């Protein structure tokens, strides 16, 4: 996600869909691999006859267990990142508009017409992204 943030910072109009697709794909592959490793770990522990030629099963079980725990941290971090986007924290926040006594809003007070126009254009770009 840091890469997406860097792309957005350099060029707000550029799409990050390619990066997001790659991250989702990698995430799904990681989850699939973790399931397979957990299945192998379970087979090593509960069906030792299936793998009679495998040496040092306890060591392999521990290595798989450690790897799965480490990978679960990454999976959880990515899921949290996805949930932030879904909860709206990462999305555009609504404008809070406080109108002053002079009828001018706080976010537009003391802006020239050119600055006001630029602010509106920026707001439209954010909506498009």
The domain spans of the chain are 2-91, 95-129
Give pLDDT tens digits for 75-96. Answer: 888 887 776 655 444 445 555 5
Which residues, 6 or more positions from 65, have their beta carbon under 8 angstroms from its beta carbon?
A: 41
**111 three-state secondary structure:** coil
The DSSP symbol for 56 reads -
Place of tokens 């990698």: 26
Give the span between the Cα atoms of 108 and 126, in whole angstroms: 18
Q: What pLDDT score does 113 carry?
A: 86
Q: What pLDDT score does 40 carry?
A: 86
Q: What pLDDT score does 90 carry?
A: 42
Place of tokens 């790897």: 67
Give pLDDT tens digits for 24-56. Answer: 888 888 888 888 988 888 888 888 788 888 888
Q: What residues are paired with 105 via a beta bridge?
A: 99
Q: What pLDDT score does 27 carry?
A: 84
Give the span between the Cα atoms of 83 and 77, in whole angstroms: 10
Write the DSSP string, 13-38: TS--HHHHHHHHHHHHHHHHHHHHHH
pTM higher than 0.75 = no
pLDDT of 109 over the 60 cut = yes
Question: Any idea which of 54-68, 71-85, 115-129 has the lowest mean pLDDT?
Answer: 71-85
């Amino acid at each position: 996600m840091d890469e997406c943030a860097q792309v957005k910072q350099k060029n707000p109009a550029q799409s990050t869909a390619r990066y997001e697709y790659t991250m989702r794909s990698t995430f799904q592959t990681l989850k699939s691999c973790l399931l397979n490793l957990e299945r192998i770990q379970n087979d090593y522990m509960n069906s030792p006859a299936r793998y009679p030629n495998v040496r040092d099963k306890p060591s392999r079980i521990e290595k798989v267990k450690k790897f799965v725990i480490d990978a679960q941290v990454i999976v959880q971090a990515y899921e949290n990142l996805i949930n932030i986007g879904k909860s709206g924290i990462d999305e555009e926040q609504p404008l809070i508009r406080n109108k002053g006594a002079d009828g001018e809003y706080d976010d537009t007070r003391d802006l020239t017409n050119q600055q006001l126009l630029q602010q509106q254009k920026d707001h439209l770009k954010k909506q498009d992204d």
